[in-house]
């Protein structure tokens, strides 16, 4: 059966009024506001601070009696109400003011009340309040002075400029000798620099920017504080952070001023000193701008007190917050410390002041009064009183302002809206009532307790309770109650506990999987249960009315255990993962356990999968072919130990959500030996799915990198080194065989062997890469399952390489190169070997070039030399008798093959030897070239000796020209034939 909902029984507009976070939002003296105030007032604990610094508990009534007691001394009767922001100080001041009005007429008629409330109270309005009811000539003159000051600053913009101008004047011309810790020449220097800054037009513009510090201070002094806004004393001061300026705004300034600006921007100590000086003069400048330069609050109070003394009255001053008087608070402090005399009336005052505000500047003032504090622990307020506190605001929002005012004017008690409600019979048993009879709907008692605990963790904080327990949840309830199963949604108390810590992640995940009203159920378990997250009878009743179906969970078997008092702030049973999901940082120990378990599981999967990639552990990493999987590849946001920033490449990612929290809880459970985990082991199978996806990403990336970078480099190196094997290949299989095990020729050049020995480690690295990327280690054992499919198209091109291509050797900074292949180093060694091996070859060729010319037909020349030597020998024209034998021995070593070798190497030299030319020296050419050189050198000697002994046809001796020898061989042969004839 569809449940019949209970509709909202309050008005949002009324709740906004009655539950204002500060009593200052209710105008004092307005009948309606006074009725609302009376309807919501709740007694709270107070303490009196003794001279020894201890605290003695007191009641509101005792404070009232102390404040209103007959005065027997002429000393000012001052009472301070202190406490943290939001503890209800101004509320108590207002209550004291209301109760003081109800004291016996014999006392009340002698008091002149001055009430300074928070509600839109500017400095001008404060002084006007002090003058209220005072009609002396000086009071009239002062009112006129205030009006003139107000007329001069009609806008906030005018007020800002006036404030800065007054600051400039005070800084430059005041002669105060000490400001904070500055004095002497240090103070003089800071004054000068401060005056130069605050007097500059551009600086004024920057400091007067919208939303800036000067606008903030000017607006508060001119218009007062917003009725429903928190008052922060820091908003009325200047600090170094407020003085931010950018150097780029001063490009048109002089070089000297630009240097000064740069120093100001970069020197925080200088900014702090300048802010300290400006803040010292700020109250004085503020008072001069907004109350008139001739206004002296001390004189104002003396004038008022004189008039009241003439009337035989006492001045009774109520200040809702001393911060309101910033700019004139120092004068007020001085005025309130003056004892009464015949021409000055007695003073009694109660002043609310934030803890710590009365610093050394107000030491004398603070010592004159008695201090009551509202800084009390929440546990000092009874649970029933806290529920009554909330219940009164709920009731006031139901009754409404008009009915409250009407009842108050008729002298009736505050009405209880629940009495005549048609839903009371269902509502009260389910949701409960307070001790005053106010229904707690849409909360129950446990919800009120739990929400107050969250909203006020460090002490009784009525302001935040109103904001987070009353106003915000009621707005959600009003929008959702009309739809069964919706309230309380995830929006309910979202500002206090967005992740519902008291409901573990595994329960939230289970509820989300099974329930179509999961948000509402989780909220009920988190807030409405006396022993969260266990469902009790109270929660079941609430759920039935709200239309929320509760999931049957094993944890609910513990419903017999009931917690009556509110739970502590963070129950010890809350796990670290629950806290992490709620936004806390995951600690080092837990995050390391999670990452280690995931990496271990991943390594096992990879080592036992047929991926054709070697897998090994290296410290905390996993090396998969060319890819390194690090702990940072496991993305845990807001976690210690690294990996909290999204990594590049393959990664397994977790989010701070319930579902992932369950998985991480399971992992931590598994590290302790329990695979069942938080949800009966379901987390394990979900984790396996994630690991499967992660594994696939890693394998794909590793294969890509292997093919694209590391394996390509390795195959190129092996291909270059396979050049030593001169066998022709036509298939990828033959190519791979030669690359892995090339044969060396029998007559290999020893210098090439030396090079091969030097680069053996590069070859080993390349072979290791091939093994790691193209074979799979089964269980960490011997390699198996060779997989060359990914590189078949690369084998033939690689085996044809004689040096590394530029694109590969230029990848010197790649991960593959850093891991051991070092392609650039390999290429450099090959190029260096070429230089070493080619140097003697080049030198020998240069010597041969001295005897034979480029382009000469050497075979023809050999035939001519053979004829020449034979003819010369027959003609006994050779210089030595054994010259012919010597020539014949060398001639046998120079054949057509040697001449071809000479021609080939001369062409190689002309083209400029490259790294690939190393393989042209596989067989050492030096013996052949040396024989050729020896032969041509002998030819040169024979020709020269013949030339030297043969008479010239002209009868003159000719000088032998070696440079022309090669060009004259044919002519010499003709000469020899002529001699024979």
pLDDT digits (tens, 9 = 90+) for 793-804: 788 888 888 888
Considering 5-9, 143-147, 321-325, the range whose residues carry the highest mean pLDDT is: 5-9
Rounded (5°) CA angle 304-310-312: 100
| 950 or 865: which leads in pLDDT | 865
For the cut 60, the answer to whether the pLDDT of residue 812 exceeds it is no
For the cut 70, the answer to whether the pLDDT of residue 255 exceeds it is yes
- Nearest-angstrom CA–CA distance, 616 and 778: 11
Mean of pLDDT values over 292-305: 75
For the record, the structure tokens of 871 come out as 């003819």
Average pLDDT over the chain, rounded to an integer:
81
- Least confident span in 72-86, 376-390, 592-606: 376-390
Signed CA dihedral, 84, 90, 93, 98: sign only? negative
Q: What does the buried/exposed string (b/e) look like for 671-691 if buried means 16 or more CB atoms within 10 Å of the residue's CB?
A: eeeeeebbbeebbbeebeeeb
Provide the pLDDT for residue 555. Answer: 62
Mean of pLDDT values over 53-70: 90
- Least confident span in 323-332, 614-623, 797-806, 810-819: 810-819
Contact criterion met (CB below 8 Å) for 519 and 489: yes
Bridge-based pairing of strands 111-116 and 46-49 is unpaired
Full-model pTM: 0.64
pLDDT band at 952 (very low <50, low <70, confident <90, very high): very low
Provide the pLDDT for residue 478. Answer: 92
For the cut 80, the answer to whether the pLDDT of residue 878 exceeds it is no
Provide the pLDDT for residue 440. Answer: 95
Residue 66 neighbours by CB distance under 10 Å: 15
- Nearest-angstrom CA–CA distance, 599 and 687: 12
Provide the pLDDT for residue 566. Answer: 43
Q: CA dihedral in degrees (697, 700, 702, 707; nearest 10)?
A: -160
- Nearest-angstrom CA–CA distance, 619 and 285: 67
DSSP tag of 435: T
For the cut 80, the answer to whether the pLDDT of residue 666 exceeds it is yes
Tens digit of each residue's pLDDT (9 = 90 or more) over 900-931: 888 888 888 887 778 888 888 888 888 988 98
Provide the pLDDT for residue 562. Answer: 41
Bridge-based pairing of strands 369-373 and 111-116 is unpaired
Radius of gyration of the chain (CA): 50
Mean of pLDDT values over 245-257: 85
Rounded (5°) CA angle 823-828-829: 100
Provide the pLDDT for residue 526. Answer: 92
Rounded (5°) CA angle 459-322-136: 150
3-state helix/strand/coil string of 111-139: EEEEEECCCCCCHHHHHHHHHCCCCCHHH
Tens digit of each residue's pLDDT (9 = 90 or more) over 423-447: 999 999 999 999 999 999 999 999 9
| 74 or 944: which leads in pLDDT | 74
- Nearest-angstrom CA–CA distance, 283 and 288: 9
- Least confident span in 70-84, 216-230, 691-705, 787-801: 216-230
Calculate the alpha carbon distances from 240 to 12, 171, 268, 269, 276 in Å.
42, 17, 7, 9, 8
For the cut 80, the answer to whether the pLDDT of residue 887 exceeds it is yes
């Amino acid at each position: 059966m569809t449940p019949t909902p209970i509709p909202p029984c309050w008005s949002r507009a009324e709740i906004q009024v009655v539950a204002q976070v500060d009593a200052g939002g209710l105008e004092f003296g307005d009948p309606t506001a006074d009725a609302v105030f009376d309807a919501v007032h709740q007694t709270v604990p107070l303490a009196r601070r003794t001279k020894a610094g201890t605290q003695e508990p007191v009641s509101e009534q005792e404070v009232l009696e102390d404040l209103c007691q007959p005065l027997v001394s002429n000393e000012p009767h001052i009472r301070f109400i202190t406490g943290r922001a939001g503890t209800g100080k101004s509320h108590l001041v207002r209550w004291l003011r209301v109760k003081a009005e109800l004291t016996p007429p014999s006392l009340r008629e002698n008091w002149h009340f001055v009430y300074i409330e928070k509600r839109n109270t500017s400095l001008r309005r404060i002084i006007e309040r002090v003058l209220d009811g005072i009609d002396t000539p000086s009071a009239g003159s002062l009112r006129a002075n205030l009006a003139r000051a107000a007329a001069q600053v009609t806008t906030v913009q005018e007020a800002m400029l006036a404030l800065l101008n007054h600051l400039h004047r005070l800084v430059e011309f005041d002669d105060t000798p000490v400001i904070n810790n500055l004095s002497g020449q240090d103070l003089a220097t800071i004054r000068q620099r401060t005056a130069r800054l605050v007097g500059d037009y551009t600086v004024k513009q920057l400091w007067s920017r919208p939303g800036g510090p000067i606008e903030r201070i000017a607006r508060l002094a001119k218009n007062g504080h917003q009725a429903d806004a928190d008052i922060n004393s820091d908003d009325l001061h200047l600090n170094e952070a407020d003085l931010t300026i950018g150097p780029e705004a001063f490009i048109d300034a002089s070089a000297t001023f630009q240097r000064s600006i740069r120093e100001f921007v970069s020197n925080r100590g200088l900014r702090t000193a300048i802010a300290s000086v400006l803040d010292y003069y700020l109250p004085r400048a503020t008072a001069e701008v907004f109350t008139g330069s001739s206004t002296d609050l001390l004189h104002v109070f003396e004038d008022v007190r004189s008039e009241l003394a003439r009337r035989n009255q006492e001045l009774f001053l109520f200040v809702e917050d001393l911060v309101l008087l910033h700019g004139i608070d120092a004068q007020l402090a001085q005025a309130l410390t003056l004892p009464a005399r015949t021409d000055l009336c007695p003073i009694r005052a109660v002043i609310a002041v934030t803890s710590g505000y009365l610093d050394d500047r107000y030491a004398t003032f603070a010592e004159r009064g008695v201090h009551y504090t509202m800084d009390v622990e929440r546990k000092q307020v009874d649970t029933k009183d806290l529920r009554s506190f909330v219940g009164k605001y709920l009731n006031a929002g139901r009754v409404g302002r008009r009915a409250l005012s009407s009842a108050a004017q008729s002298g009736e008690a505050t009405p209880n809206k629940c009495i005549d409600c048609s839903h009371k019979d269902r509502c009260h048993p389910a949701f409960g009532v307070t001790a005053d009879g106010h229904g707690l709907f849409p909360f129950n008692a446990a919800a009120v307790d739990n929400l107050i605990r969250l909203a006020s963790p460090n002490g009784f904080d009525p302001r935040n309770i109103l904001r987070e327990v009353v106003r915000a949840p009621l707005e959600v309830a009003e929008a959702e109650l009309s739809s069964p199963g919706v309230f309380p949604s995830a929006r309910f108390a979202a500002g206090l506990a967005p992740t519902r810590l008291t409901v573990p992640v595994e329960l939230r995940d289970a509820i989300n999987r099974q329930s179509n009203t999961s948000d509402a159920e989780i909220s009920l378990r988190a807030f409405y249960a006396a022993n969260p997250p266990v469902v009790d009878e109270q929660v079941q009743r609430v759920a039935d009315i709200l239309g929320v179906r509760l999931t049957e969970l094993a944890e609910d078997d513990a419903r017999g255990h009931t917690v009556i008092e509110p739970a502590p702030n963070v129950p010890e049973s809350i796990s670290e993962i629950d806290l992490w999901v709620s936004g806390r940082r995951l600690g080092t120990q837990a995050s390391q356990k999670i990452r280690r378990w995931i990496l271990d599981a991943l390594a096992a999967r990879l080592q036992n999968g047929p991926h054709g990639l070697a897998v090994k552990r290296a410290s905390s990493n996993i090396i998969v072919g060319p890819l390194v999987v690090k702990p940072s590849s496991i993305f845990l946001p807001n976690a210690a130990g690294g990996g909290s920033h999204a990594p590049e490449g393959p990664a397994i990612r977790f989010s701070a959500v319930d579902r992932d929290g369950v998985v991480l809880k399971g992992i931590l459970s598994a590290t302790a030996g329990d695979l069942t985990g938080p949800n009966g082991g379901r987390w394990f199978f979900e984790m396996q799915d994630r690991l499967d996806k992660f594994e696939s990403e890693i394998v794909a990336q590793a294969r890509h990198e292997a093919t694209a970078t590391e394996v390509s480099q390795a195959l190129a190196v092996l291909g270059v080194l396979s050049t030593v094997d001169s066998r022709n290949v036509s298939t990828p299989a033959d190519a791979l065989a030669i690359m892995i095990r090339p044969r060396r020729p029998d007559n290999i050049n020893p210098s090439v062997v030396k090079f091969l020995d030097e680069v053996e480690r590069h070859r080993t690295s390349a072979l290791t890469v091939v093994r790691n990327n193209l074979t799979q280690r089964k269980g960490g054992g011997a390699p198996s399952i060779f997989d060359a499919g990914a590189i078949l198209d690369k084998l033939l091109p690689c085996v044809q390489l004689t040096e590394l291509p530029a694109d590969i050797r230029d990848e010197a900074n790649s991960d593959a190169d850093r891991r051991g292949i070092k392609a650039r180093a390999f290429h450099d060694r090959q190029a260096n070997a070429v230089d070493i091996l080619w140097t003697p070859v080049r030198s020998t060729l240069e010597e041969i070039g001295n005897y034979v010319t480029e382009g000469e037909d050497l075979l023809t020349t050999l035939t001519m030399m053979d004829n020449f030597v034979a003819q010369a020998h027959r003609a006994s024209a050779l210089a030595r008798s054994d010259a012919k034998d010597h020539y014949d021995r060398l001639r046998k070593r120079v054949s057509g093959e040697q001449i071809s070798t000479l021609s080939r190497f001369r062409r190689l030299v002309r083209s400029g030897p490259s790294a690939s030319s190393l393989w042209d020296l596989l067989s050492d050419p030096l013996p052949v070239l040396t024989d050729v050189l020896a032969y041509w050198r002998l030819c040169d000697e024979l020709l020269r000796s013949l030339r030297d002994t043969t008479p010239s046809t002209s009868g003159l001796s000719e000088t032998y020209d070696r440079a022309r020898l090669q060009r004259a061989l044919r002519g010499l042969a003709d000469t020899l034939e002529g001699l024979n004839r």
